[in-house]
């Protein structure tokens, strides 16, 4: 039975493709962007998250942890030794206050499809469907492919939201069952891309070109990170790239925000760009006008 690790399923989404959609978030990503708004998506394995403000200091998790990885820190605060934690989930099962949560669970294709099928009437009425996001959904190729094939059999519109960082063989297998690609571009300069995401962008750009040449419908999405990729010169490069690919039908600019900062804390991860502030509405409007000069529809937001 084909299964995969899912960390969230959002119903009634209106920002991940046309119409009303169900967005299935698959865990794991080969990129490590410091502005990632889903840091819980990066590790392909289930992981533990702690909400400090919910903790009632009952000590049950200390008693039940089979690895002895949880302890008091001397100041009445519960701390977890991440090196000893094996992500078994016992602490989350024990926590009556739901302060501890397991992020990511194994699901079968049938289980995910059961969630999707509950919303068939909304897809039909709105022109919506299912979006597979992440993380990087291509990282779980066989699981994604099986889900796409099941959706196609039921005539459900499918979207894959991807960074494009995967072997062409993977994209080649899933593209036949994908109606729309939301293709996320970070940086066009290879050295900068490697610096901020941990990987080269050559494969990403090659795959974008290959998908476009085969006539797939593509919406480009660009997260605007002030001081990192929001220069007019960089946006013009993206506009020129998009204008040269007839398969690209739309560009979305996604403003950086800080709503994920607390997630990093809950995951015991450092947030490496705390001083960056979200772009102003005026700045976003200016960048949208600039990209609009290249003849494509430009949308601010998802």
Residue 57: give its domain's CATH number.
3.30.70.20
Answer yes or no: do 117 and 204 share one domain. yes
Answer yes or no: do 70 and 169 share one domain. no
Question: And the tokens for 278?
Answer: 């979200």
For 133-148, the pLDDT digits (tens) are: 999 999 999 999 999 9
How many domains would you assign to the chain? 2
Local structure of 27: helix, strand or coil: coil
Answer yes or no: do 127 and 193 share one domain. yes
For 65-93, the pLDDT digits (tens) are: 999 999 988 777 888 898 899 999 999 99
Residue 272: give its domain's CATH number.
3.20.20.70
Peptide bond into 135 cis (omega under 30): yes
**Distance in angstroms (rounded) separating the CA atoms of residues 292 and 242:** 11
Answer yes or no: do 56 and 160 share one domain. no
**Distance in angstroms (rounded) separating the CA atoms of residues 35 and 263:** 12
Residue 79 has a pLDDT of 87
Answer yes or no: do 243 and 108 share one domain. yes
Answer yes or no: do 255 and 196 share one domain. yes
Answer yes or no: do 142 and 203 share one domain. yes
For 44-68, the pLDDT digits (tens) are: 999 999 998 899 999 999 999 999 9
Answer yes or no: do 13 and 62 share one domain. no
Answer yes or no: do 220 and 132 share one domain. yes
**Distance in angstroms (rounded) separating the CA atoms of residues 228 and 118:** 41
Answer yes or no: do 55 and 21 share one domain. no
1 has a pLDDT exceeding 80: no
In this prediction, what percent of the chain has a pLDDT beyond 70? Answer: 100
Answer yes or no: do 218 and 257 share one domain. yes
Q: Which residues pair with 220 in a beta bridge?
A: 183, 251
Domain encompassing residue 69: 47-102
Answer yes or no: do 112 and 98 share one domain. no
**Across 169-196, average pLDDT:** 97
């Amino acid at each position: 039975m084909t299964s995969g690790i899912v960390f969230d399923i959002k119903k009634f989404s209106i920002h991940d493709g046309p119409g009303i959609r169900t967005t299935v978030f698959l865990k794991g990503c080969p990129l490590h962007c410091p502005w990632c708004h889903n840091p819980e998506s990066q590790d392909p394995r289930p992981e533990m998250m702690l909400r400090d403000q919910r903790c009632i200091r009952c000590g049950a998790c200390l008693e039940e942890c089979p690895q002895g990885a949880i302890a008091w820190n001397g100041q009445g605060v519960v701390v977890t030794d991440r090196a000893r934690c094996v992500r078994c989930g016992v602490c989350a099962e024990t926590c009556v206050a739901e302060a501890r949560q397991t992020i990511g669970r194994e699901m079968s294709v049938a289980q995910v499809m059961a969630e999707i099928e509950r919303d068939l009437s909304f897809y039909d009425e709105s022109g919506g469907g299912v979006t597979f996001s992440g993380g990087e959904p291509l990282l779980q190729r066989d699981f994604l492919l099986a889900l796409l094939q099941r959706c196609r059999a039921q005539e459900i519109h499918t979207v894959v939201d991807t960074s494009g960082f995967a072997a062409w063989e993977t994209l080649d297998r899933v593209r036949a069952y994908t109606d729309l690609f939301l293709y996320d571009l970070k940086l066009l300069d290879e050295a900068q891309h490697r610096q901020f995401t941990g990987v080269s962008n050559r494969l990403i750009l090659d795959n974008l070109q290959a998908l476009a040449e085969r006539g797939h419908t593509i919406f480009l999405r660009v997260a605007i990170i002030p001081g990192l990729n929001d220069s007019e010169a960089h946006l013009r490069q993206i506009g020129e790239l998009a204008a040269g690919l007839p398969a690209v039908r739309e560009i979305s600019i996604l403003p950086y925000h800080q709503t994920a900062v607390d997630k990093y804390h809950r995951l015991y991860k450092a947030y490496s760009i705390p001083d960056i502030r979200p772009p102003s509405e005026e700045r976003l409007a200016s960048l949208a006008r600039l990209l609009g000069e290249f003849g494509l529809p430009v949308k601010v937001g998802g």
